[in-house]
Amino acid sequence: MGEDVEKLVERIRKLKKEKKAIILAHNYQRGEVQDLADYVGDSIELSQRAMEEKDAEIILFSAVDFMAETAAILNPEKRVLLPSLGAKCPMAGMISPELIKVWRRRFSKTPLVLYVNSSAAAKAESDICCTSANAVDVTESLGVDRVLLGPNHNLAWYVERETIRRVEVIPIPKEGFCPTHELFIAEDLLQVKKKNPDAPLLVHPECRPEIQLMADFVGSTSQMTQYVKESAERKFIIGTEVGMIHHLKKENPKKVFVPAYEGAICPNMKPNTLERIYTSLRDEKQVVTVPSNIANKARHALEKMFDVVGEVTND
């Protein structure tokens, strides 16, 4: 870390103390941002952590827009800041309240399980939320034979495959996807596995079905963290956004991590720089707010998820 960066980090820490702020960073954030943060993890996990910080008055959420919205919904008494307004999740934008209403009319008696990677307005139209870690449990808890699940069709495929009871999972929209996880292709993974024959392959359920079928383990980033921690293996191939490797290395310094694809970089996660964090905190700008009528409905869908799974681990 250069001298200028060290000075900037020190200024941020001073501001954080003065303003009674906490800094949350998602696993896919830049390494230097993860190092600065008070907590690093998944979006719901981080929002819940903020709820536990009773003395905090400001949450600076270094992630993408829907995560900051969720933090604002679950922490209405705190100011939530998003360092860069350009940090928008394209997958979350693939499902809108209007689209949900169209599918509702078509499947009027089918519950909608909505992935937390969605806007607050979309959550407000759902029956219950889920994360990639708990989507199977949430779906099975409904006790039905068919659900709608959006906005990632690969996650829908995963949930249908993993449910013990034979639940039909209809993806909405039919082709909703994460652009970063779509970058993983079988030919590349075969080459990586050939070079690292003894390393288990861990992939995210937002990856295509053929990639999931190649994996030794399919799970959320929090589940990957737990898998690596408990495994006796020394080397792992990681099939998710490459920022995850920084987190895994810090947690497991004696283990080796190989990216399944080095180009798996989410450009929407990376606009949050130290400079933008400093400016956002200093000026308290980029405040994320959710209208109360939407927030109340979205909170209900999130709380129903909490009722099912208790303490939450996310995507």
12-24 pLDDT, tens digit per residue, is 999 999 999 999 9
In a domain, 289, yes or no: no
Tokens of 154: 């690969």
DSSP secondary structure string for all residues of 34-91:
HHH-SEEE-HHHHHHHHHH-TT--EEEEES-HHHHHHHHHH-TTSEEE-S-TT---TT
The reply to whether 68 and 8 lie within a common domain is yes
User: Whole domain around residue 24: which residue ranges?
Assistant: 3-88+269-284
The reply to whether 74 and 104 lie within a common domain is no
In a domain, 290, yes or no: no
The reply to whether 303 and 157 lie within a common domain is yes
Q: Phi first, then psi: what are they for 128, rounded to 5°?
A: -160, 150
The reply to whether 220 and 190 lie within a common domain is yes
In a domain, 189, yes or no: yes
Number of C-beta neighbours around residue 106 at 10 A: 11
Number of independent structural domains in the chain? 3
Tell me the C-alpha distance between 119 and 89, whole Å: 9
Helix (H) or strand (E) holding 150: strand 146-150
The reply to whether 245 and 189 lie within a common domain is yes
Tell me the C-alpha distance between 121 and 66, whole Å: 10
Q: Phi first, then psi: what are they for 256, rounded to 5°?
A: -115, 140
Number of C-beta neighbours around residue 182 at 10 A: 15
In a domain, 210, yes or no: yes
In a domain, 111, yes or no: yes
The reply to whether 165 and 300 lie within a common domain is yes
Q: Which residues in the chain show pLDDT less than 50?
A: 313-314
Tell me the C-alpha distance between 34 and 12, whole Å: 13
The reply to whether 222 and 279 lie within a common domain is no
Within 211-308, strands assigned E span: 217-218, 235-239, 256-259
Tell me the C-alpha distance between 160 and 136, whole Å: 8
The per-residue pLDDT for 314 is 45
CATH number at residue 97: 3.40.50.10800
Which residues is 184 bridged to in the sheet? none
Residue with tokens 């991590």: 257
In a domain, 264, yes or no: no
Summarised one tens digit per residue, pLDDT across range 77-106 is 999 999 998 999 999 999 999 999 999 999
The reply to whether 79 and 120 lie within a common domain is no
Angstrom CA distances, 254 to 174, 229, 237, stand at 42, 11, 15
In a domain, 193, yes or no: yes
The reply to whether 61 and 187 lie within a common domain is no
In a domain, 315, yes or no: no
Inter-residue contact 34 to 71 (CB < 8 Å): no
Give every CB contact of residue 298 below 8 A, 6+ residues apart in sequence.
73, 120, 121, 123, 124, 290
The per-residue pLDDT for 185 is 97
The reply to whether 163 and 303 lie within a common domain is yes
Tell me the C-alpha distance between 98 and 119, whole Å: 12
Which residues is 80 bridged to in the sheet? 59
The reply to whether 79 and 151 lie within a common domain is no
Inter-residue contact 46 to 60 (CB < 8 Å): no
Tokens of 208: 């295509």
The reply to whether 170 and 304 lie within a common domain is yes
